[in-house]
Chain A
Amino acid sequence: MTGDVLGPIVLVCLGYLLLTNLTYAALVLVAVVENAVRRHETASQDYEGLAVSRFTIPVSVIVAAYNEETGIVSAVDSLLGLEYPELEVIVVNDGSTDETLKRLREEFALEPYQVFVRHVFATAEVRSLYRSADHPNLVVVDKANGGKADALNAGLNIARYRYVCGVDADTVFERDALLKGMRRVVEDPARIVGLTSHLGIAEDPERSMAAPRGARPIDGRAFMAYQHLDYLRAFFNNRLAWSRLGFMLCSVGAFQIWRRDVLEEVGGYAEGFTCEDIELTFRVHERFLREGRDYEIHCLPDNVGTTEGPGTVRKLVSQRERWQRVIAETVWHYRRMCFNPRYKSVGLIGAPFYVLTEVIAPVFELLSIVLLALATALGVFDLVLFSVMVAAIAFMNAALTASAIYLEDLQSRTYRLRDLVRLLLLAPFDLVLYRPFIVWARLKGSWRFLRGVKAWHKFERNVRAPA
C-alpha cells in the first residue's frame, strides 16, 4: 500500500528532476555558443581605443548604500579607479544608521553643496548633497531611508548621462569593468537598453581582488566555494543562454547597466517588491514586447568584479530566502506573460522556466529528499537503487557545474588552476553539502511570499581584513 502511494510520487519527483536538468543541459549548449561568440568578440575588441575615445558613451554609476561602513570606501575607490573616458559616481547613502556617511566624508574630502536636480522620481527626503574636493566626478546624496529602489531613484534624479550603471556597495570592480560592459552598448545603443555581466563572489572581495587575473584565489572554505559555484552556474549556464535566446530575466543588482531614458519611461526602480533587479528586467521586457519595439537586454561572460558573499549559513539562508521571494513576487506579478505569444521568448520560455526551476522547485526538492529517504527506509526502494539515484543526480549536477567552470575559465582565465580543480572535485558533493541549505532558504522564501512579507533582511556584512 505504502509502495503504491510512494512509488508514483517518487516517479513524479524524478521526472521533475530529469526535466529541469535536461532544460539546464539544453541551456548549457546554447551558453557554449554564446560564450564562444563573446570570447571572439572580446579578443577582437580594442579596449585601449575604447578607453580614450570621446565617442565612448558616458555613464553615471549609482551606488545605493545602507549600513555599508565596512566596504563602502573600497567599493567607491574601485569605481573611481575605473578606466573609462567619462563617468560620474553617485553614492546614495540611504539613511544608514552606521558610519557609512562619516567614512565617505573623511575618505573622499566631501563638502556640502546644493545642486538643483530634476525630480523625475519621487523619493524619500534628500537631506544634503556632497561633492568631493579630491574627485570632481564623485557626488554623495544623503537621504532618509527608503529602501534600495528609492535610493537608486534618487541617484537617477541626479544622473547626468545617457546610461546608468546601478551597482552594489559591497562589490569591488575590475578596472575595466565598465569598458567591458559598455563595449556591446556602443555598438548598438539604439537597441541595447540593458546589460549585466559576470561577477565573482568572495567573503572578502578586496583581498580576493588584490591578486592579479590568473592567480586569483577562490575562498578556501567549502561553504564559500559552493556559493562561487552557484554564481558560475547562474551566469554561465543560465544567463548567457537566456541572453542568446532573447529572454534575459535578471539584470543583477550588483552590476546593471540601463539606458536612462528607458528607466524614466518605465517609471524607475519599483519600491513595491522585495528586490528591484528582477522586477525591473521583467518590466522592461513587458513594456517593449507589448509595444512591439526592437530592443535587447544582454548578459556578458566577462568577469567585472567580486561581490561579498554571506560568510555563515544563517546569512546565506537570509539572502537566498529573499531571492526566492522576489522571484515568486515577480513571476506572480507578471503571470499574464506566461505562455503568451505576444511576449515572445520571455513569455513562452523565460517566465515558464522561472516557474519550473525556481518557483515550484522547493516543493519538489523537499518531496524528493523526504520521499526518497522514506521509500528506502520503508523498503519500497532498495539501498542500491537509492545510491544509484543519488549518484545520478549528484553527477548530473556536477557535469553542469563543470561546464560552467570550463566556460568561465575559457572566457576570463581569472582563478588559480588549483582552485578550479578543487571546485571540480567539490561539485559532486553539492547535493549533500550545500543544496539542503538552499532548499531550506527557498522553502522559507516561498512561505514568506505566500504570507506577503516584503522585508529586505539584509545580511550582516562579513568582517574584513584591515586595508
Chain B
Amino acid sequence: MDTLVLRVAVVVLALSLPAWMLLSLLVVLGRARYEHRRREPDARRLGTREAERLVRRVSRSPRTEWGKWRRVGALARLEQAHHPAVPRLIRLVLADPDPRIATAAIRTLGDIGDEWAIDVLISALHKGIGPRSRVAAELERLAPAPGEKLVSLLRDWNPAVRFWGATLLGPYPDLGESTLIALTWDSDPNVRAAAVETLGSRSGAAVGAATLACLGDSEWFVRVHAARAAGHVLGAAAAPTIAQHLSEERWWVRMAAKDALRGLGTDAVPSLLAMLTHDDPFARNGAAEVLQDIGFVDFLALDNPESPLLERIYEAGGEKLREAALARAENVPEQGVVAA
C-alpha cells in the first residue's frame, strides 16, 4: 500500500509543483508585459503586417467562442488605428449569428460615428441584429445625430422597431409629432407607452390631448408614462386629472401620478387638497405625501400649526406623517434668533 500511496503522491507532486512554478512565472511575466505596454503606447502601434494579419482574422468566421472573441478584439484594434477596411469588416462581423459578437461590432460602430455607421445601425435596428437596446444606445451617442433618419422607424411593420423609433425621437422635439400622436393608438401597448413618453418632452394642444387620452389606456404601464407626460406637457391644467389617478388600482400608476404632481409643485395644491376627502385611503395618503414633499405641510406646520387644513392633511396621511412633520419643524431654527 505504501508503494501505491507514494506513487500517487509523487505523480501529484510532479504535476503540481511545475504547474505552480509555471503559473507564478506567467503572473510575473504577464504583468511585466502589461506594464511595459502601458508605459510605452508605441508598443501597441499597428504595423502593416500586423494590420494584414488582423484583417485576415476578422474576415474569417471562427466556430469556437475563443476565436470569435479574438475576431472582435482584432476589429477593435483595427478601428482604433482607423484602418480603411473597417467598414467592410464591420458588416461581416454584424452578420455573425452569435448576438454577442454582433453587439461588439455595434459598439465599434458607435465609436466611429459616421453617416454610413448611422445607416448600418438603423439597418441593424430594422433587422434585429444584436440587442435593440444596445443599437439604440449607440445611435443616441452618435455625432452627427441620426435625426430625420429615425422617422422611418415609426412606420415599420415590426412593433419592436416602432417602439425604438418612438423612444429614440425623444431628443428631437421637431420630428414626427403627428406620427407619434397616431402611435398613441397603436395596437402594441409598448409602442403606445414609448410614444406617450416621447410626447412628454413636447408641447401643444394636440400633444396634451394625446397624453390625457392615454391616461385612460387599458394597459397600466401606458398610464404610468401618460401620467408623467401629461404633467410635463399640460402643467397645472392636468393636475385634477392626474390627481384622480392617486386612487388607481395599480401601485406604479399611483406612484407616477405622485411623481407628476410633485413635479408641478404648488400648482398641484388645489387638486391635492380636493383628494384629501377621497373615499380611497390610498388616494388620501398619496395626496398627503405629495403635499409633504412639495413643502406645503412644513409651511403650514411652521406658519399655522393649529390650522384645520393641516389637521386634515395629518388625518389623511396618518400618525407617522404628523410625527415626521413635527420632527422636521423642530429642526428649523426660529426666525430672528441669531447665534451668539
Contacts and interface: CB of A to CB of B under 8 A. Distances in A.
A52 B110 CA distance: 14
B65 A112 contact: no
Given A54-B140, A403-B23, A424-B24, A413 B31 contact: yes
A40 B101 CA distance: 10
Interface in B302-340: 317-318, 320-321, 323-324, 327-328, 331
A98 interface: no
A417 B13 contact: no
A33 B108 CA distance: 24
Nearest to A408: B27
Q: Could you say which interface size class chain B belongs to?
A: 35 or more
Contacts of A369: none
Nearest to B103: A187
Nearest to A57: B133
Contacts of B285: 116
Interface in A380-397: 381-382, 385, 388-389, 391-393, 395-396
Given A49-B110, A49-B138, A118-B251, A382 B2 contact: yes
Contact of A417 (B8, B31, B136, B141): B31
Contacts of A399: 15-17, 19-20, 23
A11 interface: yes
Contact of B293 (A49, A113, A420): A113
B16 A114 contact: no
A385 B6 contact: yes
Contacts of B131: 186-188
A18 interface: yes
A381 B2 contact: yes
B94 to A, nearest CB: 14
Interface string A141-173: 000000000000000000010000000000000
Nearest to A17: B12
A112 B13 contact: no
B69 A420 contact: no
Contacts of A113: 292-293, 324
A41 B100 contact: yes
Contacts of A52: 141
B125 interface: no
A410 B140 CA distance: 32
A160 B34 CA distance: 42
Given A40-B73, A49-B141, A381-B2, A398 B16 contact: yes
Contacts of A381: 2, 5
B286 A111 contact: no
A2 interface: no
A409 interface: yes
Nearest to A127: B320
A417 B34 CA distance: 11
A117 B53 CA distance: 60
A26 interface: no
Given A40-B73, A41-B100, A389-B5, A115 B66 contact: no
A55 B28 contact: no
A10 interface: yes
Contact of A111 (B12, B66, B331): B331
Contacts of A7: 1
B137 interface: yes
B69 A36 contact: yes
Given A53-B141, A55-B136, A187-B103, A398 B20 contact: yes
A450 interface: no
B293 to A, nearest CB: 7
B26 interface: yes
Nearest to A40: B69
B69 A46 contact: no
A287 to B, nearest CB: 23
B97 to A, nearest CB: 16
Nearest to B137: A53
A421 B28 contact: yes
Interface in A226-284: none
Most buried by B among A18, A44, A49, A129: A44
Interface in A396-418: 396, 398-399, 402-403, 405-406, 409-410, 413, 417
Interface string A1-36: 000000100110010001000000000000001001
B134 A186 contact: yes
Contacts of B78: none
B10 interface: yes
A277 to B, nearest CB: 27
Contacts of B35: 417
A50 interface: yes
A141 to B, nearest CB: 12
A112 B331 CA distance: 11
29 contacts: A10-B5, A11-B5, A14-B5, A14-B8, A40-B73, A41-B69, A44-B73, A46-B107, A46-B138, A52-B141, A112-B323, A112-B328, A113-B292, A113-B324, A114-B288, A114-B323, A116-B286, A381-B5, A385-B2, A391-B9, A392-B8, A393-B12, A395-B17, A399-B15, A402-B19, A402-B27, A405-B27, A406-B30, A410-B30
Given A113-B293, A417-B35, 7 more contacts: A114-B288, A114-B318, A128-B324, A385-B9, A396-B12, A396-B15, A399-B15
Which 5 pairs between the two chains have the least Cβ-Cβ distance? A40-B69, A402-B23, A114-B321, A399-B19, A112-B324
